[in-house]
Each structure stands twice: as structure tokens, then as C-alpha cells.
Amino acid sequence: MREEILKALYDWNPWWEGKFPTELAGISRDHLLDQYMQIPEIKVLEGARRVGKSTLFYQMIEKILQRDSQVLYINFEDEILKKYSLSEILTVYRQIAPIRNLFIDEIQNCKEWVPFLRTAYDRKEIPQIWISGSNASFIKKEFATLLTGRNIPIQVHPLSFEEYLHFKSIDTSQPFSSQKQNLIQSHFLPYLETGAFPAVVLRPVLQKELLMSYFEDFIYKDIASRHEVNLLKIKELGIYLATNSAKTFSYRGCATALGMHPSTIIDYCSYFYEIFLFQELYKFDYSLKNQIGSDKKIYILDTGLGSAISFRFSEDLGRMLENCIFNELRRKGEEVYFHKQKYECDFLIKKELKIIAVIQVSTTLVSPEVRQRELRGLLEAMEVHQLDKGLILTLEEEGQEEHNHKTVTILPVWKWLLEL
């Protein structure tokens, strides 16, 4: 056992026998993780597989190694390590060195980790503990029972548009010349179409094939390994949800369309939510019961993945824009709903007990019918929530209008994403 564990650990910690391989750290992102080194709580990186959690760990490890050599990284995707408990692994490691900085990847694959980490934290045996996971339900259940007050969650998402441009070596510092603005604009549609998984962005060819392999991993490694599911049916559901992303959605309607029982749809959707692949958006209502009981919208983690696995998602640019904006709002940690009364507005942003902003999304406002529809929904939401300002995000149009003493700002999505 000892030799097997040590060999696996040496494979994952190459800096023990030489310099840190700088290629492991990849390209820097917008996560300011250094500040978390100043607090003792267990740091938890949460997010779907392939969004870059491991790379963020390596970036932290590279910095720590400049001042402290006592760093241990454990990846529980490893077939050897996942056979053992965390206690067994660390008992073996402590025979060769102490631990001051512990990084554990994909901890949902680890056996009996919670009691061990709780004890290590309470006894202050390991000053810095960082863990990552790709299953929200599994990790949060453990936190609620044993790690309450001992952890700090950090959400990791696919690349923002600004990070995407950074990965493409495009400078986003202001002011913009006309040439730079045109360059940035030219990258926005590829950002929507190929998505924002780091490895996909850096890949010059066969991006769709890589995204399809990610979808297979979501199904087989993240869901089928934990739940009893009909693989054909759950893949069919995933494709259905991607195809209908940014549309109004009901479990019963989905069950009818796919010939499945509504309870099965509810269970299978919950598995997708657990692994961050899809998220629901509720219609705003001050009654929680009405909110949960009404139809909802569904959004996919990444527009590129949605385009790769769906039948029609990539054909509807408006829905791709809406999905992109939803993902950005969630990346920013906003509490989001949609408005639907006589008319509809895509996003309401809530802070504490009040709606503070409303956003409508449309590819273009050139058509008088589309302009009237989008304005009606936005102005109704502004009136209901007593707001004087509203925002319409489009592909290219920009301007400002007054409607009944209310100001409507029109802005290209790419500018909004870069906070210009």
C-alpha cells in the first residue's frame, strides 16, 4: 500500500524532484486567490469539470513554493488514490514530510474525507487546506453536517469574455482604438459559438469533438458513477435541455416530449444541476410557493457545449446571447429571476428584498415589432418594480431612449461583458 500511494503522489507532485513545471500553471485568470491565504478556513473551489479548478490549484502551488516547500497535491481522479481514504494517504505521506499546504482535487471521489479534515482543521494540524469538487449536492451535504463555519466556497466558472480575450493574447486595457475595438468585436461570436472551457479556447481544431467528450464525461463519470440511470434516457434529456436552453421549461412538458415519467425527469434534472451542467431560473414572485410551482427557464453552463450537443441551439443567436448573459450574471454572484406578467422581461436582479435592475436581451431592435415587444416587457418590469432605468443588450446596437420619464439604455453585449 505504502509504495503504491507514494508512487501516485510523486506522479502528481513533480516539484518534489525538481523545479515546478510552469506549464501546469497555464494562463492566469481573474480569480484573486492570494487573499484567501490569509485566512485559516478550508477553501473550497466549486465548479463543473474542465472549468480550470486544477489549473488554479497549480497557480497557487507555484506561488507557495517560492516561500514554502511543504506542499502536497492529491488528485482523486487518480485510480490508485481513490482506492484509499484521505487518512491512509496522509499517514503514508507524513512518514516522509510534514504538511503545511494541502490541495485536494475532486474530493467527491475520496472516502471518509470530512471527519479527517474537520479534525485537522480544529487541531490546526494543517495551516492551509484547499479542496475542489465537481458535485454541488455531495459537497454541500457534507459541509452542512460537519464543516459548517469551517469553509469558504469559491465558485469557478468557464472563462468570462475578458478572460477569453486574455487567452487569445488580446489586450483589453482601455482606452480602445478603433482597430482594437474591431478586433474584440470579431472575437465575440466565436466566444459564443465555441464556448469558454479553457482547453477548448486554446485548441485550434476539433473543438466540437472535445466538447462532445466533455458531455460524455458529465454523463458517465459524474452522473452514472453515482446514480442508477438509464444512460440513453439521461443523454436524451441532456440534449433536450441544451436544445431548449433559454426557453420556458416545465418538467411535465419535458416528460411528455421525451416519453418519460415526470418524477424521472425531476430526478435526472437534479443530477444535471448537481454537477453544474444546467441551472434553473425562476419567475419572480414574492410567494416562494408560486415561484417554485410556475414554469421556469433552463440554461446550460457553456454556450459552446450547448451548440455542440443540441439540435437547434446554435441556430438561435438570441437565445445564445441570453444564455451568455445569464452565465455572466451568475459568475458575478447575482440573484436572478425573470419577469412574466402581461409581457416578459429576461432578467431581474434582486438584492436583499428588492429588484434593483432589469435587463432585456435581443439580437437586434431593427424590426419595429421586435423593438415594441422588447420595450413592452422591459417597461412593464420597470413599472412593477418602480425602477427609472432599464437595460437592453443587443449584438451591435447602442443608444439611450426616454419612455414615460424612464431611461432605457441599449448596449452591445460585448461592451456590457467588459463593463465598458
Q: What is the pLDDT of residue 108?
A: 87
Whole-angstrom distance between the N-terminal and C-terminal Cα of the chain?
A: 56
Neighbours of 306 (CB within 10 A): 27
Phi, psi angle pair for 171, to nearest 5°:
-75, 130
pLDDT at 138: 64
Note the pLDDT tens digit of each residue in 278-290: 999 999 987 766 7
Residue 140 has pLDDT above 70, yes or no: no
Domains and CATH numbers, the chain: 2-155 (3.40.50.300), 159-323 (1.10.10), 334-420 (no CATH)
Q: Are 72 and 179 in contact (CB under 8 A)?
A: no
Over the chain, what is the mean pLDDT?
Answer: 93
- Can you give the pLDDT at residue 313? 78
Q: What is the pLDDT of residues 306-330, one digit of tens each?
A: 999 998 777 799 999 999 999 999 9
Q: Which position has the higher pLDDT, 417 or 115?
A: 417
* pLDDT over 90 percentage in the chain: 84
Q: What is the per-residue pLDDT for 149?
A: 78
Query: Could you read off the pLDDT of 195-206 as tens digits, one per residue?
Result: 999 999 999 999
In this structure, what C-alpha cell is assigned to residue 260? 418519460
Q: What integer pLDDT is reported at residue 114 of this predicted model?
A: 85
**Whole-model pTM?**
0.94
The conformational region for residue 352 under phi > 0 = left, psi -120 to 50 = alpha, else beta, is left
Residues 80-95 pLDDT 10s: 999 999 999 999 999 9
Q: List, for residues 34-49, the tens digit of each pLDDT value.
A: 999 999 999 999 999 9
pLDDT over 70 (residue 68): yes
pLDDT digits (tens, 9 = 90+) for 205-248: 999 999 999 999 999 999 999 999 999 999 999 999 999 999 99
Residue among 209, 202, 270, 203 nearest 241 (CA)? 270
Secondary structure class of 130 (helix, strand, coil): strand
What's the pLDDT at 150? Answer: 84
**pLDDT interval class at 30 (50, 70, 90):** confident
Per-residue pLDDT tens digits for 325-363: 999 999 999 999 999 999 999 999 999 999 999 999 999
Contact 193, 317 (CB under 8 A): no
Residue type, 264: T
For the residues 373-389, what does the mean pLDDT come to? Answer: 98
Give yes or no for a contact between 56 and 64, defined as CB atoms under 8 angstroms apart.
Answer: no
Q: Distance between CA 76 and CA 82 in Å, rounded?
A: 5
Burial tier of 226 (Cβ tally within 10 Å: 0-12, 13-18, 19+): middle
Tens-place pLDDT, residues 88-120: 999 999 999 999 999 999 998 987 888 888 899
Q: Which residues pair with 407 in a beta bridge?
A: 389, 402
Residues 6 or more apart in contact with residue 228 via CB below 8 angstroms: none
Residue 146: is its pLDDT beyond 80? Answer: no
Whether the per-residue pLDDT at 291 is higher than 70: the answer is no
Handedness of CA 336, 163, 409, 365 (dihedral sign): negative
